[in-house]
Structure 1
Amino acid sequence: MVGDMILSVNKDTLIGSSYDSAASLLKQTEGIITLVVCNPKRDTQLDGSVISKDLDKKMSGTDGATTSTLEPSTLLEEPIDPLTSPIKPGRECTIEINKDKMGLGLSIVGGCDTLLGVIIVHEIFSDGAAAKDGRLKPGDQILEVNSEDFRSIPHKKALTALRQTPSKITMVVYRDESIANSAISGKEEDFLDVIEVELMKKPGKGLGLSIVGRKNGNGIFISDIVPGGAAGVDGRLMKGDQILSVMGQDLKNATQEEAAAVLKLATGKVSIKLGRLKARPSPSTSDNESLTSESDTLACRSVVLKRGSKGFGFSIVGGYGSLHGNIPIYVKSVFEDACKNVLHTGDQIIAVDGIKLQGRTHQEAVLILKNADNIVTLKILS
């Protein structure tokens, strides 16, 4: 299948081989070719075993073996042209886009310092180079830009890198298969993880967030979150979230002025339904989440906590497969005075006593904290 990794050909290993050396080896093989292949994404190989298939020039139905009449050279995939090749779902693709006078013409959300964890294309502007190129879509994950790694990069650093790109941009992108399949329906809701929150709006104060309309088309989005405000304290909202409804009132087709009026008039417990672009990290992103640049590493700090009668004095939110999507583990609330000077709502927990939490479910993170020693060291990204 497309995406299978070829580990060896007739007992000659290809691990670490270049494209040219692998192509040369495959072209030189004759007769029966035994390939050892694996695919980490394939659900049928849950035990981690390696699939071995014999490829012969004659069809054979014995023992359910898979055979092929292809010549060895036809097993090769020719190098693709990044200027014209399409983005294929479920695999990393390299594309090239030439900027015009209107620039690249897209907006992004996410980053390693946000609830998304990765950089996602948020909107494609109709007058920009990306729209004219026609391949990028909202929801695509940006992995590299001109050889700069975007797999674990803060939002502001990604913005700066995109703004400083030359006229020719080479990007490595990943489109999740589930997002690609939902695009067939044409319903924008299928691209979103729906999140419902309740914020307490105090008399005379707002919700602590700013909104903006989409440049092309309908939609109201969170453009900023005020630190210390109701939205910031809750910790579940982020820039780029679409506001689908407030107190049951549908805002999917509302103007920015209409949405601002609804938010302003709401009082007490304000229920908000949000839509967030689905973001399942690509395989390489999951493998490289721990590989951060020197500047990113400096942003992390270590916190030592002692277990008390109420545990370590804080609660967590997030995790892979959580109700809020596939997001990192964050501090939800801090309820012990001893913790309030070192932990804050929204801090990302990178590791617990050296155990990395990237890719962990919420339940796994809870168990790691529960089973930790009475004195625990947390690696925190604020």
Structure 2
Amino acid sequence: MTESSTPAPAPRNPIILCRTCGQRHQLHDNHVYDYCDIVDEELTCNICLQPLVNPMDTMCGHTFCMRCLRSVLNLHKFCPIDRRPLTQQDCRASSLIVRRMLDRLIVLCPNTDFCTSKLPRSELEPHLQNRCPGRIVGPGAPIRHGQLTSIEINRKPNRDLGIYFVGGNETPLIGVVVQEVIPGEVVAEDARILPGDQIVQVNSRDLRDIPHSIAREALCSAETPLRLTIYREKQESKAPVFTTTVLQVSLTKVTGVPLGIKIAAKQSEQGIYIMEVLESSLARRDGRLKADDRVLQINGFNVEDEMPERVARIIRDCGDRVEMVVSRQVQVTTPEVIQVPPAELPTEPFTLLRHALAPKVRAEKTVNIKKGNKECMGISVSGGKGQRKGDVPIFITGIQADGCVARHGQLKKGDILLSVNGTSLLDLPHTEAVKVLKESANARSLTLRVIEGDTDPDNETHGYIPSWLTWLSLPECCRQSHQITLEKVPNASLGFSIVGGNDSTHGAQPIYVKTVVSDSIAAKSGLLKCGDIIESVNSVSLVDISHKEAVTLLKNIPQRAQFTIVSWPGTIV
């Protein structure tokens, strides 16, 4: 008979990230402040020995923090200092003068990574909620584009965040970028973080320049509530962008041929505008004047503030030659790809203070195993071509204790299988690869070509999946590229940024997709993900070219762009 388990009761005084003081403390404890100066002893609580918070006076003339005093009186019915009988009904709020003195104490903003403000204690809460660059947006409040946003997410113990991420300072991405959000998990339920968002901090731990594995550990081990600082690329404006150009047009009058322009003033705008260029006129033959051009000068006369009748008279009186200066609004075309600037976040300029090292390519090895009679291999595998998360090689997800692989001891969970007894497992669907492995189980010996996987495969919630860095370090023979097509929209960018190139700080690197802007062409297609490697576009290779050359090439692609990419699944947390 098994005993039914009941969930552990929630702690009665949980640790929270307080919205009043911005510090982590237990729910029923006093607010915590960082004071700039030494506080007078007369304004200090004799129980907690900290500056008074919500001060209360006793009948015997002593002053304590309200919560400190109540916690004492719940146990003992006397004053903590002179031991005189005391109850909560005998206490009252301190005078307005004392409370104002406490309110004027200067404190530091706790969001020291983003804010250096010093302000009166009473102004800290509105500062944290409305003005602080590192402020936490409320539940349901959206993440702001083009700036840092801090959000708070609660998760139950032993539950994953439910995201795939890429990046780490071993790669040109450097930062930690969300590749995919898993439906039904914590982040998806919160519904604010999107693919392409960069996670800058988790619970005040900086993730901008740390190894991939350390970022994974930080995200997995962070205690709830999680405070995540997110940077989201600025969305491209839906409204067209215009610039003003000035043109000088000279027209020589011809007898019998009209000049051919109609001018008028607009009700909503200042100035005189060409409303129409008539057929078979001098202006139409010349071809430079257009409707909506604003007339600035005629034969040296400034006509910006003149009435239409006065401008028409000036044109008639010009003689044989009309010299016009007009201005025109010209729509600006948007670059096709976003070039990541050196300072990627709206904070202090961020540069690498060390020589960045790219992950080393993993070497393959050959493993020979002799099988006993009727002895099974005893492994379970995953991966293969056409998987939901993309085309990945076959890898070991489990080893049974009674199989020949376990007895031999040279393979482990996470190792990647390239071939068995001379039959390649690369480029095979999962079912075909499993069929090959089962057929080889009838042989008396096994010869396996293997690439060693992760040294510590510890994520079991969703079943074992190698990390993104493991996929990235595989030799070129394991890469399975595929093609995608993106259709451009006039005057809109494709909406992704790139890093890498043969001039990267990590040495010669492929061109990586760093971020995909939400609601862009690339994001809506769902075909291009953060961390993807672009090998070519429209049959033009991006291998072994500089970052600047790659940006120039991507800017000049035509309306239909066909990319050849290598797409590895991110690391799950």
Q: Same fold (TM over 0.5)?
A: no
TM-score range, shorter chain: 0.3 to 0.5
Structure number with larger C-alpha Rg: 2
Q: State TM-score, norm by structure 2.
A: 0.24
